[in-house]
Structure 1
Amino acid sequence: MSEGVMQLKGLKKTIKGKPIIKGLDFEIFEGEVFGFLGPNGAGKTTTIRMMAGLISMTDGDVIIKGHSVKKDFKKAIRHVGGIVENPEMYPFMSGYKNLVHYSRMIPGISKGRVEEVIRLVGLENRMKEKVSKYSLGMRQRLGIAQALLHNPSVLILDEPTNGLDPSGIREIRSYIRRLAEESGVSVIVSSHILSEMEMMCDRIGIIKNGELISIQPVHEVLGESDQKEVIIEASPVEEAEEIFRKKGGKVQRQKNELIFTAQREEIPLYVQEMVNHNIKIYSVTVRRSTLEDKFLDLIGEGAIE
């Protein structure tokens, strides 16, 4: 990764005397997809709104491409595009006319740039249709096209897959990855769907009670523990269970399966021991850690915003 295109420096927000955001410090790198997670009331949406320049900050600053949002708002925010909540379009106009209309609000946007963003989001064949006929996924892609018109360095997407069906979710996820990898845009994403964030993001930041409690590359989040949950289908399962208990291992039995936790290097030893006792092994499944596991470990059992 190259230099950070956005830095949060001691970012704070107080509302009616109550600290909502308590001093956030982190940066977003060029061409990465950064996932922003938090439980209900953690301050995630407030932070996103400050990053997008939609609400003021109480203290600290956001630096975008070297420009301070606090001291040089226009120069900083010109590098940001985004969808916070839902993209708003004129339903009685075609997708193309919507983009042309918005392009007139920004100096220097050419017809060629409008056509370029249409190709980027893959809507070439549907732009003459009225937005009222668009699916949710198409409206979301049109909203992303609108946010990209002025060629931003940072794209902020708050719940970009909200309300989409599985194919629409996959579509948006693939597009976001392609946008970051091919265009070098830094994308900041929040979502309810942790499995999607796991597939979509390069790094994950988790906020709780207005404080950043973890920020890590996704591959480290998912691969940091050698402890694995193992499920072995064996017969006779009673004898297999007895072998585990004699070795002092903690094991649960469900029908013809044994479920236990072990270090990675211990798994083949358990399997070999059962084979030595003429126990038939039909399957060995190692359950990998997920982003949901890590999230709940850090914030506890709580609703996701």
Structure 2
Amino acid sequence: MEQVAMQLQNLKKTIGNKEIIKGLSFDIRPGEVFGFLGPNGAGKTTTIRMMVGLMGITEGDVLIQGKSIKSDFKQAIRNVGGIVENPEMYPFMSGWKNLQHYARMIPEIQEERIQEVVSLVGLDKAIKEKVGRYSLGMRQRLGIAQALLHRPTILILDEPTNGLDPSGIREIRKYIRRLAEEENVAVIVSSHLLSEIELMCDRIGIIKNGELIAIETMKDTMQDSKVKDVLIEVTPVEQAEAFLKEQLEIPVKVEDNMIAISTEKSEIPGVVKKLVSNEFQVFGVYVQKSTLEDKFLDLIGENTIE
């Protein structure tokens, strides 16, 4: 049987008489980056709080390495590291001192382990500097280092790239992938930056109104469907549009001075051949790749994004 790092079992949360989380069930595996997506107010943060014991569970359970967060909290939570939004550090102390200070709260953390996590997140050069001088990206990395000190098997990151510039986002993404691959850590990332999730994650779970509406492997999600959106750069474009409307049994329109059609991949060469053999000049054929954003909006409906 496949090993499971964390398991959500019919997780529910009711506040007053309103059901906020409506029976979430999914598994997270060691060494994978799992993206947790949903529009604002979908219940992502509530779910994460229940995962780590910061909020009571109305019904169901969360198992971490087989241990229940409800009945065996201490044993379950020792496997978890987490950072929610911007990690808080002492700005007047160096990065190293911050980690030392945190390590005192956890038994059996040696100096070697502090050095190990510093290297893992790439802070060797800056670790002796005061945290007040750190960029936001460096602070995020220090937060991840702190979360990793006790060798967790699960790392939960809520909006880890919040407020970062593009190079900071890229750095954090690189370290998250490295942690999963080299340390076999199961990483759960909640984010609203879909382009980042697309580059970072192995699987995604999409939540809407407290319900899980999809769990998908990124490779499957991004694999092109049979039907393609195709733009053909051709002249004269109006005559080509009229010609193809006669020839094809699919909608044909002009977009950005190009012919736009949706057809199966195998049909594209035939369409081009028809145009060329009827004296139309074809300058280019552009097949549009679907993105995670397209998929996400298809699933949740465009009007739910704030």
Amino acid at match of 1:253: V
Q: How does 1:281-300 map to 2 (within 5 A)?
A: 281-300=282-301
Amino acid at match of 1:268: P
Q: Distance in 1 between matches of 2:47 and 2:188?
A: 12
- How far has the Cα of 1:145 moved from its partner? 0.3
- How far has the Cα of 1:16 moved from its partner? 1.8
Amino acid at match of 1:222: M
Percentage identity across aligned positions? 64
Secondary structure of the structure 1 residue equivalent to 2:262: strand
- How far has the Cα of 1:183 moved from its partner? 1.0
* 1:204–1:114 CA distance, 2 compared to 1 (3 A): same
Secondary structure of the structure 1 residue equivalent to 2:295: helix
Secondary structure of the structure 2 residue equivalent to 1:221: helix
**2:234 paired residue number:** 234
**2:208 paired residue number:** 208
Q: Do 2:38 and 2:192's aligned partners in 1 also have CA atoms closer than 8 Å?
A: no
**1:82 paired residue number:** 82
Amino acid at match of 1:44: K
Q: Do 1:31 and 1:181's aligned partners in 2 also have CA atoms closer than 8 Å?
A: yes
**1:127 paired residue number:** 127
Q: How does 1:220-231 map to 2 (within 5 A)?
A: 220-223=220-223, 225-231=225-231
* 1:124–1:12 CA distance, 2 compared to 1 (3 A): same
1:17-39 Cα offsets, whole Å, 9 max, x none, are 21111111100011000000011
Q: Distance in 1 between matches of 2:135 and 2:253?
A: 47
TM-score, normalised to structure 1's length?
0.97
**1:263 paired residue number:** 264
- How far has the Cα of 1:266 moved from its partner? 1.2
- How far has the Cα of 1:243 moved from its partner? 2.4
| Number of residue pairs matched by the alignment | 305
**1:279 paired residue number:** 280
* 1:296–1:2 CA distance, 2 compared to 1 (3 A): same
- Unaligned runs of 5+ residues in structure 2 are none
Q: How does 1:137-176 map to 2 (within 5 A)?
A: 137-176=137-176
**2:93 paired residue number:** 93
- How far has the Cα of 1:304 moved from its partner? 4.7
RMSD after superposition: 1.4
After superposing the two structures, state which structure 1 stretch, 70-79 or 82-91, moved more: 82-91
After superposing the two structures, state which structure 1 stretch, 221-230 or 166-175, moved more: 221-230
After superposing the two structures, state which structure 1 stretch, 100-109 or 237-246, moved more: 237-246
- Unaligned runs of 5+ residues in structure 1 are none
Stretches of 4+ moved more than 4 A in 1? Answer: none
Q: Distance in 1 between matches of 2:35 and 2:240?
A: 43
Q: Do 1:235 and 1:256's aligned partners in 2 also have CA atoms closer than 8 Å?
A: no
